[in-house]
Amino acid sequence: MTASLRALALCLLLVPGSAWGLEVVDQTGRVLTLPSPPRRIVSLVPSVTEIVFAIGAQDALAGVTDFCDFPVEAKGKPSVGGMINPSLEALVTLRPDLVVATRSGNRAETFDQLKRLRLPVYLVDPISVEDVMRLVTALGELTGHRDGAAAVTGDLERRMKMVEERVAGRRRPRTLYVLWPDPLIVPGRDALVSELIARAGGESVTADQGAGYPRMSLEAAVARAPEVIILASHGGGTPVGRDKWERLESLPAVKSKRLYTADGSVMHRYGPRVVEGIESLARLIHPEAFVK
């Protein structure tokens, strides 16, 4: 720990506390005792930042990361740098009473440093759409925005039910989702995107692969004869490697011109826009269900 960081930590620890206590349990089962409801939160997780804005608790956000780019107002919040290696000096300067982090995107070293600084860390670990719903509710409780959280989860449930009704009873096309082209990375078992495809009325051809987002050979993917191929775009524009798929003219998806693009920032984040992912996938997989 640098001298400047030690000084900042000392200032933080000298802030008078409150006799009031609050016990909360994060998504990993850890119990945190907070002196009072958090009023200055630093979010190291883009999806958490989105949720906080969606439920109307953005005034409690003291800081975010460079990757917290939605909604656009999030970019106006003070940044502590990247998710992998945030600036501890910048973080402590913001005098947070709670840091929200995730094991899947933040380093163990960061957790250790925050522990030494005696900063409470609320860990999120969403895997499924239901986990997203629970996280929205938990953040609503944590920030005192229960009504805002209930409105968000209610809207998610309503829109998901609408998609479910549109695709009900329809044949499920074999769908290949490409998270990254080289090496080929796909949604596997227990991956959020695998669930989104299922909710959208498709059958992911890679849902039986390893947990999360495993690598897969191009030959193995092609052998599954996908009828729909969806390429994730990162940062907008044409997905890398689209021309490679277009040349595979024997694939059912290419023959029928069902090679599509999807916004990766919507598909891969565990936030309120998860329903937009389901809706957009459903329109690609079952366009006939959305013809007015």
Within 10 Å of residue 255's Cβ, how many Cβ atoms? 11
Residue 164 covered by a domain: no
C-alpha 254/C-alpha 256 separation (Å) is 5
Residue 14 reports pLDDT greater than 50:
no
DSSP-assigned beta bridge partners for residue 23? 33
The pLDDT, as a whole number, for residue 209 is 92
pLDDT digits (tens, 9 = 90+) for 26-73: 988 989 888 888 999 999 999 999 999 999 999 999 999 999 999 999
- Tell me the chain's radius of gyration from C-alpha atoms: 21
pLDDT on residue 59: 96
- Could you tell me if 120 and 20 lie in one domain? yes
Same domain, 193 and 275: yes
Which of 91, 125, 159 is where one domain is finished?
Answer: 125
Contact 84, 106 (CB under 8 A): yes
Please state, in angstroms and as integers, the Cα–Cα distance from residue 161 to each residue in 166, 168, 200, following that order. 9, 10, 11
Three-state DSSP state, 60 = helix
193 with 113, same domain? no
Domain, as residue range, for 247: 171-290
Which of 94, 125, 156 represents a domain boundary (last residue)? Answer: 125
Among candidate residues 97, 125, 153, the one where a domain is terminated: 125
For residue 106, give the 3-state DSSP assignment: coil
In a domain, 138, yes or no: no
Please state, rounded to an integer, the average pLDDT across all residues of the chain: 89
148 falls within a domain? no
Residue 223 has a pLDDT of: 95
Amino acid 236: pLDDT:
62
Which of 7-16, 223-232, 248-257 bottoms out in mean pLDDT, i.e. has the lowest? 7-16
Residue 140 placed within a domain: no
| 109 inside domain | yes
Over range 139-157, report the average pLDDT. 96
13, 118: one domain: yes
Same domain for 188 and 113: no
pLDDT, tens digit, 9 for 90 and up, residues 192-248: 999 999 999 999 999 999 888 999 999 999 999 999 999 998 866 667 678 889 999
Q: Is the pLDDT of residue 280 over 90?
A: yes
Q: Is the pLDDT of residue 19 over 70?
A: no
* Residue 6 pLDDT > 80: no
Please indicate, yes or no, whether residues 13 and 117 belong to a single structural domain of this protein: yes
Q: Which residue has the higher pLDDT, 12 or 212?
A: 212
Residues 151 and 101: their CA atoms lie apart, in Å, by: 24
**Confidence (pLDDT) at 110:** 87
The answer on pLDDT for 22 being more than 90 is no
User: What does residue 285 show for φ and ψ, rounded to 5 degrees?
Assistant: -80, -35
| Structural domain includes residue 213 | yes
Residue 166 resides in a domain: no
Q: Are residue 102 and residue 210 in the same domain, yes or no? A: no
pLDDT, residue 17, reads: 41
Considering its fold, how many domains does the chain have in total? 2
Confidence at residue 237, expressed as pLDDT on a 0 to 100 scale: 60
Reference 286, options 177, 193, 175; nearest CA is 175
CA 8/CA 36 separation, integer angstroms: 21
Of all residues in the chain, the percent with pLDDT exceeding 70 is 90
C-alpha span between 255 and 227 (Å, rounded) = 9
Which of 119-123, 233-237, 256-260 has the lowest average pLDDT?
233-237
User: Which H or E element spans position 176?
Assistant: strand 174-178
pLDDT at 56: 97
61-99 pLDDT, tens digit each: 999 999 999 999 999 999 999 988 899 999 999 999 999
pLDDT of residue 4: 43
CATH number at residue 51: 3.40.50.1980
Does 34 fall in a domain?
A: yes
Q: Which pLDDT score, from 0 to 100, does residue 5 have?
A: 39
Instruction: Give the strand order in the sheet containing 98-101.
Output: 61-63, 41-43, 98-101, 121-123
Query: Are residues 197 and 117 part of one domain?
Result: no
pLDDT value, residue 99:
95
Token pair, residue 279, equals: 């809706």
